[in-house]
Amino acid sequence: MKTDNIIVDKSFQFGLRIVKLFIHLRKTKVERELCIQLLKSGTSIGANIEESVGGSSRKDFVYKLEIAYKEAREARYWLRLLKESGLLENKLAESFIIDCEEIIKILTAILNSSKT
């Protein structure tokens, strides 16, 4: 699924990777609640970005992107926690964290320009 909107594409691909990571973590018997927290926050990013694109107003657009930004920060937290606890391999965790931080930076830039 490719569009001309980089944040829509990146957040969708990130969400897809999170779903696959969730399946992997469940197979390795990682605590269910930790996996679900990551799944919810990691997939919510793209869902809120998608909703923002169809927003009914500029205020609605910004509101949905702010939620996506918060969810991205939460996803980064869970990824860091899984990495530091040894439940997720360092190399794999870093790959996800880098992608998540890129999404956070893009969202920050969009929000800053949308609010001015």
CA distance 91 to 113: 33
14 vs 106: CA distance, rounded Å: 13
Contacts of 25 (CB under 8 A, 6+ apart): 34, 35, 38, 82, 87, 88
Question: What is the mean pLDDT for each group of 10 consecutive residues in the chain (116 residues)?
Answer: 83 98 92 94 97 91 97 98 96 98 98 89
| CA proximity to 42, closest of 86, 2, 3, 88 | 88
The whole-angstrom separation of Cα 94 and Cα 115 is 31
Question: Which structural domains are found in the chain, ordered by start?
Answer: 6-115 (1.20.1440.60)
pLDDT of 84-95, one tens digit each?
A: 999 999 999 999
Q: How far apart are the first and last CA of the chain?
A: 31
For the entire predicted model, the pTM comes to 0.92
pLDDT digits (tens, 9 = 90+) for 59-80: 999 999 999 999 999 999 999 9
